[in-house]
Structure 1
């Protein structure tokens, strides 16, 4: 079972914003550029990069996607912080 993961994310307030970002990604938009433009998280300045983190370090719904969701494929997840578009890069 994976103990660490690395991911990019874009944090927005509304589901509609997250859905619009997912559509743009499906059409080939660059994740890092969308993160810099739309993310309300400080990681947006770094293209949405959260770096590597341990299992259990993030809030449970986010953690679940990072440790069980498909790699590289963008996912939408709701947490107490808002809506995240998450792209898991790898797990170790």
Structure 2
């Protein structure tokens, strides 16, 4: 069982915008560029980089994707903060 993970994310208010970001990523857009442009999270300035974090440190829905979702694939996650496009970089 992974104890830590590292991820990038883009936080937006609307599901449609998050889905559009995923479409842009699938067409080859750079995650960091989109994070700087669209993310409402302070991490957006750093290209959406959340660094490494422990299991249980993030809200449950986000945590679940980070510790069980496919690595390096953009995922759509709804939390109390809004809609996240999450890209898990690795788990340890």
TM over 0.5: yes
Secondary structure, in 3 states, of the residue corresponding to 2:7? strand
Query: Could you say what the CA RMSD is over the residues aligned between the two structures, in angstroms?
Result: 0.2
**Where does structure 2 lack aligned partners over 5 or more consecutive residues?**
none
Deviation track 1:25-61 (CA, whole Å, cap 9, x = no partner) reads 0000000000000000000000000000000000000
**Where does structure 1 lack aligned partners over 5 or more consecutive residues?**
none
TM superposition shift of 1:3: 0.3
Partners of 2:89 and 2:19 lie apart in 1 by: 20
Corresponding residue for residue 6 of structure 2: 6
Corresponding residue for residue 36 of structure 1: 36
Which structure 1 residue ranges, 4+ long, deviate > 2 Å from structure 2?
none
Alignment TM-score, normalising by the size of structure 1: 1.00
Secondary structure, in 3 states, of the residue corresponding to 1:20? helix
Count of residue pairs the alignment pairs up: 92
